[in-house]
Amino acid sequence: MSRPPYLEAVAQHDPEFLSLLESERELVLREGAIPVKYKLLMTMVCDALLGHDRGCETIANRARTAGATEAEIAEAVRIAAHFGGVPALVTALGAYPKG
């Protein structure tokens, strides 16, 4: 699992804290009772609800790599829109392929 960009600043300024964050991230996002692709789709919905449009794009691509289908991503976008309204929908649209 590659390190997300926001952890790079932590890596440069607080390696001890980075170790803790990476351990937690590994625990939460590893394969378990919930497959990784679904954990990534949940993460994408959270990013949409929090207004992280670039996060939706990045996480949707990671979910695709983990085996998520376009139909699964579209349903996750629906969930974000249902619970977060139009602002979450607009943010979640970053999950769709460009073009």
Domain ranges for the chain, please list them: 1-30, 31-99
Q: What is the rounded distance in angstroms from the CA atom of residue 40 to the CA atom of residue 62?
A: 7
Mean pLDDT of 68-81: 97
Of 46, 51, 49, 50, nearest to 63 by C-alpha is 46
Question: In the chain, what's the furthest Cα-to-Cα distance?
Answer: 42
Give 82-98 pLDDT, tens digit per residue: 999 998 898 889 899 98
pLDDT of residue 55 exceeding 70? yes
Given pLDDT bands bounded at 50, 70 and 90, which one contains residue 5?
confident
Contact present, 14 and 50 (Cβ < 8 Å): no
pLDDT tens, position by position, 13-50 = 999 999 999 999 999 999 999 999 999 999 999 999 99
pLDDT value of residue 6: 83
